[in-house]
A and B are shown apart, each in its own frame.
Chain A
Amino acid sequence: MHIESTEMLWFEQHVLSLPELSELSGVPQPLLEELLDCGAIAPLEPDAGTGPRVRAGADLRFGAQALRAARTARRLRADFEFDVQALAVALSLLDRVAELEAQLRELRAQQPQRVR
């Protein structure tokens, strides 16, 4: 069998435009814009978000966090038929869960295991 070797990209190194984010996540651009409007998906430089061109998304850049959120949004929409509002709520809850899990992992790592 042919064995393919591959180039790999760390998620964290991605910097994407809105159309690229849409292509990689499979979420249509209009829906991404709605998710952006309600803050469920955030661009890399949030303070650049004023003025008409930026509102159209032309200047916005997205990182790993946004790609992860957008891919989750695509799954939740396909599997649960969530609308924008439900997606926004689910994404922020999942974010909090991830944050808490990271904290828990840190605390567990600091917890001594070899108590006699």
Chain B
Amino acid sequence: MKYKDYYASLGLARGASDEDIKKAYRRLARKYHPDVSKESDAEEKFKEIAEAYQTLKDPEKRAAYDQLGAHPAGQEFQPPPHWQQQFSDAPFSSEELDLSDLFAHLRGGAAHRSARMSMPGHDYEIGVAITIEQAFHGTQIDLDLNMPEYDEQGRVRRVPRAFKARVPKGATDGQRLRLPGKGGKGLHGGRDGDLYLNISLRPHALYRASGHDLYLDLPLAPWEAVLGTSLEVPTPGGTVRLKVPPGTQAGRHLRLPQRGLPKPKEGQGDLYAIVQIAVPSVVAEPERELYRKLSDGSNFDPRAHFAVEAGHAH
């Protein structure tokens, strides 16, 4: 089993007072709690902090932890034989264990299991990032989890569990799926926990998602915007033809109904092509001459409103 330095997790020295432990936990929890924090590694960090606090706040668990001695974090170690007799009711095999399982299991701890009380299994919540194409077609994901399980004697061990889960089409950013009964096993008749998947969409080179709607930048040449055109636009469901009406302004949203992401039950979001007027950065002489002719021949004033609005202000 790997040693974890619970004091270091809370940024404390080994002799820290109970008050210091509480203060350190409160400060770090406020910073890293996944419901509150925007830090990228908040989830992992908070797990570490909470695990350290669960053990150090309980005088009995803290005494047991201190007896394990100080080791470098991550180093393999074995609890001394007398440690188990002194602190734990149930035997365990320590290779398959995480240090946290050991402390969840201690005599006198909150999770004392010898009373044969029925206990519901743990719920697990994990993030799953999928692509827009996967959200469009539905996808199969493989999950490998490592969960503590208790047998009827209350013995704990780590069990690797693999899931093949089908994410049906209809997923989008921020949506959740529940896999009933796929969390931790319940104990003594308690119900099995659930597994929750939080779906997020990976950034895409072309599309941006909002709910089930997709947005796509559509660059047009100036003459295409003025004269109108018919062109091919990529969508997750395949290329579609889009008519650009004459006189299309930059920033306009051309709506392609039902070409966005499918919704869970029925229906489908829309795809919006956002018009941009693109100009060539380099033009050769014959082409430049055409622009000059256009400039001389046109009486179009794109800033006519400047004069009007500025006049109003005075």
How many pairs of A and B residues are in contact by the CB < 8 Å rule? Answer: 106
Given A106-B211, A109-B210: A3 in contact with B170 (beta carbons within 8 A): no
Which chain A residues in 67-116 approach chain B with CB under 8 Å? 68, 71-72, 75-76, 79-80, 94, 102, 105-106, 108-110, 112-116
Contact of B35 among A7, A24, A76 (CB under 8 A): A76
Interface size of A as a range: 35 or more
Stretch with Cβ within 8 A of B (4 or more), from A9-17, A32-40, A43-51, A53-61:
A9-17
Q: Is the CB of A8 within 8 A of B168?
A: yes
Q: How far is the CA of A6 from the CA of B145 in the complex (A)?
A: 14
Q: Is the CB of B194 within 8 A of A79?
A: no
Q: Min CB distance, B266 to chain A, in Å?
A: 12
Contacts of B194 in A (CB 8 A): 24
Q: Is the CB of B179 within 8 A of A6?
A: yes
Q: Is the CB of B180 within 8 A of A109?
A: no
Q: How far is the CA of A94 from the CA of B33 in the complex (A)?
A: 13
Which residue of the partner chain B has the closest CB to A116? B278
Which residue of the partner chain B has the closest CB to A106? B210
Contact of B50 among A5, A23, A79, A112 (CB under 8 A): A79
Q: How far is the CA of A108 from the CA of B208 in the complex (A)?
A: 8
Q: Min CB distance, B268 to chain A, in Å?
A: 16
Q: Is the CB of A6 within 8 A of B163?
A: yes
Contacts of B210 in A (CB 8 A): 102, 105-106, 108-110
Q: How far is the CA of A108 from the CA of B153 in the complex (A)?
A: 54
How many residues belonging to B are interface residues under a CB distance threshold of 8 Å?
A: 50
Q: Min CB distance, A19 to chain B, in Å?
A: 12
Contact of A75 among B35, B174, B191 (CB under 8 A): B35
Q: How far is the CA of A11 from the CA of B195 in the complex (A)?
A: 12
Q: How far is the CA of A3 from the CA of B173 in the complex (A)?
A: 27
Q: How far is the CA of A26 from the CA of B166 in the complex (A)?
A: 26
Contact of A12 among B35, B123, B175, B281 (CB under 8 A): B175
6 A-B Cβ contacts within 8 A? A4-B182, A10-B177, A12-B175, A71-B123, A108-B210, A109-B208
Contacts of B228 in A (CB 8 A): none
Verify if B162 is at the interface (C-beta below 8 Å from A).
yes
Q: Min CB distance, B183 to chain A, in Å?
A: 11
Q: Is the CB of A11 within 8 A of B178?
A: yes
Verify if B167 is at the interface (C-beta below 8 Å from A).
yes
Given A9-B178, A11-B178, A108-B208: A4 in contact with B164 (beta carbons within 8 A): yes
Q: Is the CB of B264 within 8 A of A115?
A: no
Q: Is the CB of B264 within 8 A of A80?
A: no
Given A109-B208, A110-B215, A114-B217: A4 in contact with B123 (beta carbons within 8 A): no
Given A3-B163, A24-B194, A109-B209: A9 in contact with B276 (beta carbons within 8 A): no
Q: Is the CB of A3 within 8 A of B215?
A: no
Verify if B288 is at the interface (C-beta below 8 Å from A).
no
Q: Min CB distance, A116 to chain B, in Å?
A: 6
Contacts of B213 in A (CB 8 A): 109
Q: Min CB distance, B158 to chain A, in Å?
A: 13
Q: Min CB distance, B96 to chain A, in Å?
A: 14
Q: Is the CB of A11 within 8 A of B177?
A: yes
Q: How far is the CA of A10 from the CA of B173 in the complex (A)?
A: 13
Q: Encode B202-219 as 1/0 by CB contact (under 8 A) with A.
A: 000000111101110101
Verify if B29 is at the interface (C-beta below 8 Å from A).
yes
Q: Is the CB of A6 within 8 A of B281?
A: no
Contacts of B50 in A (CB 8 A): 79
Verify if B161 is at the interface (C-beta below 8 Å from A).
yes
Q: Min CB distance, B243 to chain A, in Å?
A: 21
Q: Is the CB of B162 within 8 A of A113?
A: no
Q: Is the CB of B164 within 8 A of A113?
A: no
Q: Min CB distance, A114 to chain B, in Å?
A: 5
